[in-house]
Structure 1
Amino acid sequence: MKMKFKEFFCGVMLVASAMPVAAQQTKLLTAEKHNEYGLVYTLPVTALDVEVTAVKETRKAGPYYQYAKKYVGTDKVVKDDAEVWTISSVKVRPYGMPDPDAKYLMQLKPGATTYIGVDSDGMLLSINKAPVIPAAEIVPAAKADADKVGDNEYLQYVDEDFIASQSSAKQAQMLAENLMEIRESKIALTRGTAETMPTDGKQLELMLNSLTHQEAAITAAFLGNVTRETVVRNFTFVPAENEKTTLFRLSNFNGFVNADDYSGEPVYITVEITNEGALPVDAKGVEKKLPKDAVAYCVPGAADITVSFQGKTLWSKEVEIAQFGVVFGLDPQLFSDKKSPSYAVFDPSTGALKEIGSLKEEE
């Protein structure tokens, strides 16, 4: 592999996106007169799609929090408005990107039935076999609490006396009385002793749900309102060397922010090369020679990839990386042999040889 990779990619591929890497389209290339019986393909560099799931917690103080101990029986309340972001999970998926310095030509003779499978970027996926790329995982959209209570929703359940009152202590007392009435109504419905009972189970459920929501709205006026929203972001990172770099930052004011936005705390990605791919050797331990006009593929290296935040490891695993390896090749005659042609399948994320065999044995 041509090592201009670092010049091209280093410092470039730290990109945030709203969606993960999309599934690639594949196509088959055959050797014909118009392409002078030559098939052009590309080997990949390995990129990492880092999917981060965070929870945005919005805290709103209740206007009567100082009366919570007296009327609700607890002093565990939200006293100050705040927004807090926490990371709940991280997933890292390797995938292939075309290396601009790793284009190759598979030259064939007229009449050859050999074909190759490539993706939409021309990266080699297979020879003499239909290529298959796993479907991209569907990432759920951001979601918020299903039964959210509005910050001032309790005002929907008060009367004129409450509105007219200028005393917060008196308003708190009236809210507490409303809260007690709601709880008593729920108990009566549950026991079947309410003055007006629902006609069926569905109506009972609706009435209980309504009372529960009213109870939550009034309780929030004392305890405060806490809502949670799940947010998913994807970041692309291309390992180039041993390094520790800021992937993005997480801010309690703005959530996900760029790596150079110091309003947030850094989320680091660390690369430690554990294996540099080596050329295959024969039985005597001597490196094999590259076949003439070889069909190039990658012998990948590997690295420990770690994502961390505030000193805590969020994700860590050894990953095969194409750009930390070397390029070797297969004898092209394996695939053009008329009596017993072979097939090969390559890893789309590393360009490694995954499988090779005889087409006749496959039939």
Structure 2
Amino acid sequence: MKRLIAAVSAFTVAATCLMAQDPEGTLTYALPQTVVTVEVEAVQEIFYAGPYARYASKYLGSEARNEDEVSCQVTSVKLTPFVEADQSARYTVNPGKSMPAFLSLTAQGLIASGDGISGKDVQWRFAAPSRGDFSDKGVESNLTSESATLYRNVKGESAYSKVAVQQQMVVEKSLETRAKEAADMIFRLRRKRIDIITGDTDATYSGEAMASAIEELSRLEKEYMTLFYGYSELRTQKMSYDIVPSASNQKQMYIAFRISDKDGLVAADNMSGKPYVLELVPQKVAAPAASASGKGSQMYYRVPAICFAKLSDGVNVILQTRIPVYQLGVVSSYPVSSK
């Protein structure tokens, strides 16, 4: 008897009484189906290469990334099974004396009075792409003064002669010159910080004053370092995807979502992204010890199949767990007395 009551609790009523369409005293209900909701969080890194990246090895002694890059990777995944009404498996029944059982199951939350679960509005997209900004990183002028020697012809007593004339011109500094100045500033900041720490300065620093001075020098050094090694912006994206398993899918493999370096998390049908696959391996549902009598009205219900669920990117397993999936189980019935 306990097994029977437990089995009854497996089905879900999909609608309230349809008095206008069904005979008086009958109920219309639907068998339950499982919807697997995958909640994904990803981080997109937008890297901006420094304008002096090509000179990092020459002036600072280590290589730097030379090109802007965008990458995106999954940081967390949550898989949750929900139950909703399967509108392709609707039945009518006259519960009769079984109405108290219906009310009891409803009070316990084991019978739903609606046709499905409420929707989720997790729809956040990345903002428009921006460009790296290094405009306020330098302290030296972008212009320099160069001395040029010009010649002019001067008429002498018997002939013309060339006379050198010095002229100063203002020209734009080369990229390498500016890179060298930035590197020199980095080393000056480092030396200044060491002098303060060791006390090798004319001024006396102590307590909060020393900490503030060191912090500011470190901040300035970091600003100049970005001119060579660039910087990254991190953006977090959260999306939710619903997968409805189908008994007709022989392999029981579903593309849950895709991820693209440029667009982040995208839908399963967006071919620009790398797919993440949900694989379900259902266990066999044991046959009942004794079959119910086929006489009279029958109440149908589903016994879910316990499935081993595995989410992977095609190579690495991201998440694995066990979940019940109703539509991959079996449909059973038991007699209902209408008197």
Does the aligned pair in 2 maintain the 1:272–1:304 contact within 8 Å?
yes
Confirm whether residue 152 of structure 1 aligns to residue 158 of structure 2: no
Q: Secondary structure at the match of 2:271?
A: coil
Q: Secondary structure at the match of 1:97?
A: strand
Confirm whether residue 224 of structure 1 aligns to residue 205 of structure 2: no
Confirm whether residue 274 of structure 1 aligns to residue 278 of structure 2: no
Q: Quick one: which amino acid aligns to residue 129 of structure 1?
A: Q
Deviation by residue 1:302-352 (Cα, 9 ceiling, x = unmatched): 33333222422222334321011123346668xx9xxxxxxxxxxxxxxxx
Q: What is the CA distance between 1:258 and its match in structure 2?
A: 3.8
Q: Bigger radius of gyration, 1 or 2?
A: 2
Corresponding residue for residue 46 of structure 2: 58
Does the aligned pair in 1 maintain the 2:237–2:265 contact within 8 Å?
no
C-alpha RMSD of matched pairs (Å): 4.7
Of the structure 1 ranges 61-70 and 222-231, higher mean CA displacement relative to structure 2 is found in 222-231
Q: What is the CA distance between 1:301 and its match in structure 2?
A: 1.6
Corresponding residue for residue 103 of structure 2: 116
Go from structure 1 to structure 2 and tell me whether the alpha carbon gap of 1:104 and 1:206 turns closer, same or farther (over 3 Å shift).
farther
% identical equivalent positions:
24
Deviation by residue 1:110-168 (Cα, 9 ceiling, x = unmatched): 99655537xxxxxxxx34435699xx9999x8999xxxxx9334x42423524655122
Does the aligned pair in 2 maintain the 1:279–1:299 contact within 8 Å?
no
Corresponding residue for residue 174 of structure 2: 167
Go from structure 1 to structure 2 and tell me whether the alpha carbon gap of 1:329 and 1:67 turns closer, same or farther (over 3 Å shift).
same
Structure 1 portions without partners, runs of 5+: 1-27, 118-125, 145-149, 337-363
Distance 2:222 2:325 in 1: 52
Go from structure 1 to structure 2 and tell me whether the alpha carbon gap of 1:131 and 1:142 turns closer, same or farther (over 3 Å shift).
farther
Q: Of 71, 76, 95, which aligns to 2:82?
A: 95
Q: Quick one: which amino acid aligns to residue 132 of structure 2?
A: D
Go from structure 1 to structure 2 and tell me whether the alpha carbon gap of 1:61 and 1:204 turns closer, same or farther (over 3 Å shift).
same
Does the aligned pair in 1 maintain the 2:126–2:263 contact within 8 Å?
no
Of the structure 1 ranges 101-110 and 166-175, higher mean CA displacement relative to structure 2 is found in 101-110
Distance 2:84 2:233 in 1: 39
Does the aligned pair in 1 maintain the 2:292–2:333 contact within 8 Å?
no
Q: Of 239, 242, 262, which aligns to 1:236?
A: 242
What are the within-5 Å matches in structure 2 for residues 127-142 of structure 1?
127-129=106-108
Q: What is the CA distance between 1:49 and its match in structure 2?
A: 0.9
Corresponding residue for residue 305 of structure 1: 309
Distance 1:106 1:58 in 2: 59
Go from structure 1 to structure 2 and tell me whether the alpha carbon gap of 1:50 and 1:163 turns closer, same or farther (over 3 Å shift).
farther
What are the within-5 Å matches in structure 2 for residues 1-363 of structure 1?
36-75=24-63, 77-105=64-92, 107-109=94-96, 116=103, 126-129=105-108, 151-153=132-134, 155-162=135-142, 165-184=172-191, 186-187=193-194, 195=203, 201=208, 210-240=216-246, 241-243=249-251, 244-275=253-284, 277-281=285-289, 286-289=290-293, 293=297, 295-329=299-333
Q: Secondary structure at the match of 2:283?
A: strand
Q: What is the CA distance between 1:197 and its match in structure 2?
A: 5.3
Distance 2:98 2:306 in 1: 40
Q: Quick one: which amino acid aligns to residue 42 of structure 1?
A: A
Does the aligned pair in 2 maintain the 1:280–1:288 contact within 8 Å?
no
Q: What is the CA distance between 1:221 and its match in structure 2?
A: 1.1
Q: Quick one: which amino acid aligns to residue 253 of structure 1?
A: K
Corresponding residue for residue 164 of structure 2: none
Q: TM-score, normalised by structure 1?
A: 0.61
Distance 2:25 2:255 in 1: 47
Q: What is the CA distance between 1:63 and its match in structure 2?
A: 1.1
How many residues align structurally?
287
Q: TM-score, normalised by structure 2?
A: 0.65
Distance 2:110 2:198 in 1: 64
Distance 1:97 1:236 in 2: 12
Does the aligned pair in 2 maintain the 1:188–1:194 contact within 8 Å?
no
Distance 2:297 2:191 in 1: 86
